[in-house]
Structure 1
Amino acid sequence: MNGSDLTCDAFLGGLVQLWQPRRGYRAGVDPVLLAATIPAVSGQRVLELGCGVGAAVLCLGARVTGLTLTGVEREATYAELAARNGAGALEVVTADIADLPLMLRQRQFDHVLANPPYWRRDASIAASDPTREAALGEQTPLALWVEVAAKRLAPKGYLHFIHRAERLPDLLAALPNDMGSIEVLPIAARVGRAAERVILRARKSGRADFCLHAPLILHRGDAHVDGDQYCQKVRDALRIGAALPF
């Protein structure tokens, strides 16, 4: 992919610069919100499954210094861009999550995060662009994403997924028995609107009760108008890399 096929886009107000394809799948708000919710501390190990160009894991690394960052990406073009975007701070493994190399299967991580493809293709139409389809169309079952993420966690490690709200039952059903302290953060566009996204957090060997949090509201006002309408804490997460605690 040559330079004319790429754009370099600023995330977190320029703290993170991402090269990504001009056409096809492009990182948006969801991976940034996911990264903002992860309670990582310096010295911990982080794995992102399906990292794309590295948006989520690199935004997390910009907020919390001293992390060991690893990403797995099946599409070679995106894996190459993730490595370029990471500039040596991100280890990128080109692999399918259904067939991870032994060197990854022998390692454990304090945090595993994922922003899996959102759309089941038995109930939706495939994207015409192959890279968009790879990112948006569910080819690997969601349950396998959860299984692989849980296996890679160290004891007391945290799993984080962002997905469409209607897939929450599938996420919960896929959690292995050793995953507890389950929390769900719904994400709604405006006050009074139904949640369109959820962030799921679970902890290996966690014992806390299930917690359904109040929704994170993205925008101020009742309807869209031109201009930045993000609520303050969401704006801070998107623009300056602030945390979004559950």
Structure 2
Amino acid sequence: MTADGLGFAEAELSHDAFLGGRITLYQPKSGYRAGIDPILLAASVPARRGERVLDLGCGAGPALLALGARVPGLSLTGLERQAAYADLAVRNAAATGIAARIFAADLREMPAELRAESFDHIIANPPYFQAADRTAARDAGREAGRGEEAPLADWVRAGSKRLAPAGRLTMIVRAERLPELLDAMQGLLGSLEVQPLAPRSGRAARLVLVRGRKGGRAEFRLHAPIVLHEGSRHVRDGEDYAPRIRAVLREAAALHFGASDQ
């Protein structure tokens, strides 16, 4: 952090390319760093030009900006409680040339400006681990990105309140937290869908994408897993992503719920 503790010094940052160089992000070298999860989340959102998107807990902006790169003409807004990361999101949006508003605030205490708005899509990649279930990370930013303070129910409640009628909330979480997330969505959202993400063929899903719709009435849908990597195990140096996932990560392709891998 800088001497005033409000941001990152340049020496603490890396400048990393995503989506085959379509976007680049300044990220802390030792804090929370984006992996493929926010990119998969962004790819799964069925947004269209002109729609409004809110990213809860946007961090340095990977999911928000990846979505903006794939679907031009969106109205993008991010909410991030860590001011240093919110500042990075502002910087990354400007450097990438994608317009986005970023608010530094807790999702449980949204600014009045946000509370007066509604959105067609809300996305979230909340911290995966409950604080009681893990050892805290040494870096405060990394800990805040991985260990939750607000329970999943608070994320769902905050998102559902800001959705426009028929708007969608899409989240990515670890598979073991799926029951908790579905329980939080019951009564607030309908047309629930779960898209499991399995590391390899024949392996159990470790991540799930979950979507609900405000006022939705469709039956619950559990889709067949999407397999992230080719082969039953890693056998060579370098990447071994399945072609569908490689297209998402390198070419900004969409990732459709329920679409066949064939």
Q: Which residue of 2 aligns with 1:120?
A: 130
Q: 1:40 aligns with which of 41, 47, 51?
A: 47
Q: Letter of the aligned partner of 1:192 in structure 2?
A: G
Q: Match of 1:53, SS?
A: coil
Q: Could you tell me how far 1:124 is from its partner in structure 2?
A: 1.2
1:37-96: CA deviation from partner (whole Å, max 9, x where unpaired)? 000000000000000000001000000000000000011110000001111611000001
Q: Could you tell me how far 1:178 is from its partner in structure 2?
A: 4.0
Write the mapping of 1:156-195 to structure 2, written as runs, cut at 5 A.
Answer: 156-195=166-205
Q: Are the counterparts in 1 of residues 157 and 188 from structure 2 also a CA contact under 8 Å?
A: no
Q: 1:8 aligns with which of 7, 11, 15?
A: 15
Q: 1:101 aligns with which of 86, 108, 111?
A: 111
TM-score by length of 1: 0.98
Q: Which residue of 2 aligns with 1:205?
A: 215
Q: Match of 2:171, SS?
A: strand
More strand by share: 1
Write the mapping of 1:81-160 to structure 2, written as runs, cut at 5 A.
Answer: 81-87=88-94, 89-160=99-170
Gaps of 5+ in 2: 1-7, 258-262
Q: Which residue of 2 aligns with 1:233?
A: 244
1:116-149: CA deviation from partner (whole Å, max 9, x where unpaired)? 0011111211111111111001111111011101
Write the mapping of 1:50-69 to structure 2, written as runs, cut at 5 A.
Answer: 50-69=57-76
Q: 1:30 aligns with which of 17, 20, 37?
A: 37
Q: Which residue of 2 aligns with 1:70?
A: 77
Q: 2:26 aligns with which of 19, 22, 27?
A: 19
Q: Are the counterparts in 2 of residues 182 and 200 from structure 1 also a CA contact under 8 Å?
A: yes
Q: Are the counterparts in 2 of residues 147 and 176 from structure 1 also a CA contact under 8 Å?
A: no
Q: Which residue of 2 aligns with 1:49?
A: 56
Q: Match of 1:234, SS?
A: helix
**Distance in 1 of aligned mates of 2:155 and 2:87:** 22
**Distance in 1 of aligned mates of 2:103 and 2:64:** 13
**Distance in 2 of aligned mates of 1:22 and 1:138:** 21
**Distance in 1 of aligned mates of 2:188 and 2:175:** 23
Q: Match of 1:17, SS?
A: strand
**Distance in 2 of aligned mates of 1:193 and 1:77:** 38
Q: Match of 1:147, SS?
A: helix
Q: Which runs of 4+ in 1 moved over 2 A?
A: none
Q: 1:218 aligns with which of 223, 228, 234?
A: 228
Output the aligned Cα RMSD: 0.8
Q: Tell me the percent identity.
A: 55
Q: Match of 1:28, SS?
A: coil
Q: Match of 2:194, SS?
A: strand
Q: Are the counterparts in 2 of residues 150 and 176 from structure 1 also a CA contact under 8 Å?
A: no
**Distance in 1 of aligned mates of 2:89 and 2:65:** 9
Q: Could you tell me how far 1:209 is from its partner in structure 2?
A: 0.8
Q: Could you tell me how far 1:199 is from its partner in structure 2?
A: 0.4
Gaps of 5+ in 1: none
Q: Match of 1:103, SS?
A: helix
